[in-house]
Chain A
């Protein structure tokens, strides 16, 4: 197998999955890279490499594995360049969006979260069933229930954001 080609195809999907699973892009990168290092020793065909990587990566997250290099903060360096800092409105909206997604995902059981996120990366029910250890026939039902739970939690979180923002606006209007 051409490892580099496989890496280029699978790294972005694995990274996205892990970022969504953990809510931590640095950790997602560490785990994705560690999973590929382990894949190198496996010599699997690509079709098998994909579910294998996701399973290994999910286990690494569950076990709390982090790469030590993350803590190698040898030298302090400057913060992000000024041009990449979004305006306060944009920043507030983005933070609210991320918080709502995190809260909704974290309200799910770990198995349900894994199912939804694997489904987002295009896995078939049979693969999801193998990775999560549920019966293939129950994947549809479990996915449907997890989806509804996610959507409900997300919507209510966003609705309360809107109420808070409206209260803030009313408050500052009264002040002014």
Chain B
């Protein structure tokens, strides 16, 4: 990577003692080939989805790093890699400087795992339907032996349920007795129950109405202030991202195309894709501003375009963009992977 300009860029200084979580050259590919027989009969080749294709970032302790980007760009895959639900195809993950990615580091992973929790994008699939909510929320408390006395566990579960806007009495219910948003709150309570220091939140508030969302986001911020929690946050709601993040990374087809401190990114987006993304935000003021959808079709991660993956949709694309993948450079306080930015064209 090129010259070291501003300080906010923690992503470029891996190994810095303040980073709690770091990813380096992180990659995950999925084989989605048709069965061998079909390949032979229909003459189809192998197909690989490059869900995450080499990304670097570092999250300092006590801060919030958000990932944004179009559906299918690989955000959830990054989340699952970090918490160890997927094994990386290549690259490193470090937690407090300790290597935890890959099977070779399984012991380290085991040691660090209790310190992190994940809130899943899909609250339906992630709650055991046969357990009462009380047992679901108590499970991480018992697993980590945070409390042993049964009455103390009960009281704690009640507190957690209240914190997320449910009531202690809801502990007796089963997940199916809740609405979508109420279930998501149960999964947030469960994640907090384990008293993690690092929380991966995949669309934690997408299922929630705005007033409950405000409660949960305020709660997350308070916990961060009080307990120094670190978050990896994923959301497609850019206004939410603006409110919770210290740094934002924009993903496109498995790569980070721009990352910067939140204000820098929103005030002065550099990458053409980031600019389009910000223009596509729905307009609540109904000022009649034309919402500009991101032009062009989302390319497939199975056959990503050569060069800059964004070039088929980019208004600034030139010949170089079609052949040479752009590398991230420092530009105005941000890190941007774009030839046009590097050449000073935009």
| A in complex with B | no
